[in-house]
C-alpha cells in the first residue's frame, strides 16, 4: 500500500491564559452559591490539572488563522499555492456563514472554502475529505485550519446534582487551535489508510443542544453536557476492533507503531481504551493533564507537540485514533 497524500506543514496554537482545575472548582462553587465540588475532584476523576482559555475577544477563527499562518511557514510554501481551505472544528464563530469564510478573509486567500464539523472528530474527518479531494486531482494543496473554544460552553452555575452530573464532562474542556497542510505524496511519506465509523443511536450521550432548530433560542441549551460513563463504555467497545482493523489493512502490528495519538477525553477513559486495545504506553503522546480535552484540536495539537519536541522521525509509523460524540470513531495510519 502506497501513501496517497502527505503532511507538508503542521502547527498548533495555545492561548496564554491557564485555568487550573482547582480554580475552576472554586468558580463553580461560587457561581452555584453552594459547595458542590470538593477541592481536587476534577483532577482526581479526569486527570486534568489545567487547561488553556482564550481571551473573551478571541474567536475560533482567530485561533485557526494563527495556526494556519504557522503551518504555512512550516510548510515553506507561498500561501497562494493553497487552492482549498477547510475549517474543521466543533466550535465556530457563527452559525452562518461558514467560519471558513472568516479565516479566508483573515488570510486573504482566493480559493474555495468550507467547514467540516463532526464534534471531536472534525479535524480527522477533514483529513479524510482533503485526502479524497487531493487523490481525485481536484486540488493540489489543501489547508485544514482549526480553532476550538469550548470553554465558553462550560456550565459553572449549577442548580442541582443531576445538572452537575451532566455538566461535569465539560469541566475537562480547554481551548486550542491547529492547522495542517496536505499535498499529494511524493514518495514513502504520507497517509496510507483512514477508516471512519459512526453509531448514531448514541448521539444523546454527549451534546451541545443550542443553536439548531430544536432549541434555537434557549439559553439553557448553550452548555456542553455528557454522560461520561456511557461514552466510556461505548469507546471501549468499539475502539480496539477498529484499531486492529486499520492495522491489518496496512499490514502493521501494534509493535510496528512508533507513535500513537489518541483523542483524550479523560485519563480514566484513555487508560481503559489503551488497556483494552493493548496499546504500548511508551508510544502514546499524552497532553490531557496540562491542556484538557481540546475537542477536535486534541489530535493535531498532540501530533504537533511530538513534532516540535523532535519525537517524530522520517518514516515513523503513526496511528491517529479519533473518538467523538455522535458517536463516531476514526483511525488514520500514516508514515511521517
Q: What three-state secondary structure class fits 90? A: coil
Paired residues of 89 in beta bridges = none
pLDDT value, residue 135 = 96
Question: pLDDT tens digit string along 278-292?
Answer: 999 999 999 999 999
pLDDT value, residue 233 = 84
pLDDT value, residue 328 = 94
Q: Average pLDDT for residues 150-177, to the nearest whole number?
A: 95
Confidence of residue 238 (pLDDT cuts 50, 70, 90): confident
Residue 192, pLDDT > 90, answer: yes
Q: Provide the whole-model pTM.
A: 0.95
For residue 224, how many C-alpha atoms fall within 13 Å in the half-sphere facing its CB?
21
Cβ atoms of 164 and 36 within 8 Å: the answer is yes
Q: Average pLDDT for residues 290-318, to the nearest whole number?
A: 97
Q: Average pLDDT for residues 297-312, to the nearest whole number?
A: 97
Q: Average pLDDT for residues 130-141, to the nearest whole number?
A: 97
Q: Average pLDDT for residues 89-116, to the nearest whole number?
A: 97
Q: Average pLDDT for residues 309-330, to the nearest whole number?
A: 95
Instruction: Give dist(CA 290, CA 46) in Å, integer.
Output: 12
Q: Average pLDDT for residues 255-283, to the nearest whole number?
A: 91
Cell of 30: 461560587
Confidence of residue 166 (pLDDT cuts 50, 70, 90): very high
Cα 43 to its chain centre, rounded Å, is: 20
Residue 27 exposed, middle or buried by CB count within 10 Å (0-12, 13-18, 19+):
middle
pLDDT value, residue 147 = 98
Q: Average pLDDT for residues 175-196, to the nearest whole number?
A: 96
Confidence of residue 20 (pLDDT cuts 50, 70, 90): very high
Instruction: Give dist(CA 178, CA 126) in Å, integer.
Output: 12
Q: Average pLDDT for residues 259-275, to the nearest whole number?
A: 90
Residue 229, pLDDT > 80, answer: no
Residue 154, pLDDT > 90, answer: yes
Question: pLDDT tens digit string along 47-101?
Answer: 999 999 999 999 999 999 999 999 999 999 999 999 999 999 999 999 999 999 9
Average pLDDT, the chain: 95
Q: Average pLDDT for residues 222-228, to the nearest whole number?
A: 88
Nearest to 309 by CA among 63, 48, 10: 10
Strand ranges inside the chain, DSSP E? 5-13, 18-20, 50-52, 84-88, 113-116, 142-148, 176-184, 190-198, 206-208, 224-226, 259-262, 317-324, 328-335
Residues 6+ apart with CB under 8 A from 59: 93, 102, 147, 149
Amino acid at each position: 500500500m502506497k501513501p496517497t497524500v502527505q503532511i507538508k506543514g503542521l502547527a498548533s496554537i495555545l492561548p496564554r491564559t491557564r485555568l487550573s482545575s482547582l480554580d475552576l472548582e472554586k468558580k463553580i462553587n461560587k457561581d452555584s452559591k453552594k459547595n458542590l465540588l470538593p477541592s481536587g475532584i476534577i483532577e482526581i476523576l479526569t486527570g486534568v490539572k489545567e487547561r488553556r482559555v482564550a481571551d473573551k475577544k478571541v474567536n475560533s477563527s482567530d485561533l485557526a488563522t494563527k495556526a494556519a499562518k504557522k503551518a504555512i511557514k512550516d510548510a515553506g510554501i507561498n500561501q497562494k499555492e493553497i487552492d482549498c481551505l477547510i475549517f474543521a472544528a466543533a466550535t465556530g464563530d457563527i452559525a452562518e456563514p461558514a467560519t471558513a469564510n472568516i479565516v479566508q478573509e483573515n488570510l486573504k486567500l482566493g480559493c474555495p472554502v468550507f467547514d467540516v464539523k463532526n464534534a471531536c472528530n472534525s479535524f480527522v474527518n477533514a483529513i479524510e475529505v482533503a485526502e479524497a479531494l487531493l487523490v481525485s486531482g481536484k486540488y493540489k494543496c489543501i489547508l485544514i485550519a482549526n480553532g476550538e473554544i469550548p470553554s465558553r460552553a462550560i456550565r459553572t452555575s449549577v442548580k442541582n446534582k443531576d445538572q452537575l452530573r451532566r455538566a461535569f464532562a465539560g469541566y475537562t474542556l480547554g481551548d486550542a487551535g491547529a492547522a495542517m497542510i496536505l499535498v499529494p505524496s511524493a514518495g514513502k511519506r504520507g497517509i496510507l489508510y483512514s477508516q471512519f465509523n459512526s453509531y448514531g443511536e448514541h448521539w444523546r450521550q454527549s451534546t451541545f443542544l443550542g443553536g439548531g432548530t430544536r432549541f434555537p433560542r434557549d439559553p439553557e441549551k448553550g452548555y456542553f453536557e455528557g454522560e461520561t460513563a456511557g461514552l466510556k463504555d461505548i469507546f471501549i467497545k468499539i475502539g480496539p476492533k477498529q484499531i486492529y482493523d486499520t492495522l491489518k489493512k496496512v499490514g502493521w502490528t501494534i509493535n510496528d507503531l512508533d507513535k500513537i495519538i489518541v483523542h483524550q477525553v479523560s485519563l480514566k477513559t484513555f487508560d481503559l481504551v489503551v488497556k483494552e486495545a493493548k496499546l504500548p504506553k511508551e508510544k502514546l503522546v499524552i497532553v490531557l493533564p496540562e491542556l484538557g480535552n481540546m475537542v477536535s484540536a486534541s489530535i493535531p495539537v498532540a501530533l504537533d507537540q511530538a513534532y516540535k519536541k523532535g519525537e517524530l522521525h522520517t518514516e515513523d509509523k503513526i496511528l491517529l485514533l479519533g473518538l467523538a460524540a455522535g458517536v463516531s470513531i476514526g483511525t488514520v495510519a500514516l508514515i511521517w
